[in-house]
Amino acid sequence: MAMIALANRGGPYVVDVSDVTFIDSSGIAFILQVHRMAADEGSTAVLRDPPALVIEMLDLIGIGGTIPFEFTPGHAPDAVPAGSA
């Protein structure tokens, strides 16, 4: 299971979403599970290189800004909605 692969090793739980081209309720549920699991262990969850569609979906459902983003060079989304990053 993907959740097991996210075992915390003292740092934040980093979920690389750079290749995501579609996200629905299952993807959002996974992100929220990781976020809760990290919080339960006193850590944080970070989304690495989220494309604009992921940022927009998080904003649309009202959790934009809840989970921090981490951008590597050359991976900033084309258009980041106001108030997101």
pLDDT tens for 42-74 read: 999 999 999 999 999 999 999 999 999 999 988
pLDDT tens for 19-41 read: 999 999 999 999 999 999 999 98
Fold classification of 15-70 is Transcription Regulator spoIIAA (3.30.750)
Averaged pLDDT, 2-17: 70
pLDDT of 1 reads: 36
Quote the pTM value.
0.78
Residue 79 has pLDDT above 80, yes or no: no
Long-range contacts of 47-51 (CB under 8 A, 24+ apart): 47/15, 47/17, 48/14, 48/15, 48/16, 48/17, 48/18, 48/72, 49/16, 49/17, 49/18, 49/75, 50/17, 50/18, 50/20, 50/77, 51/17, 51/18, 51/20, 51/21, 51/77
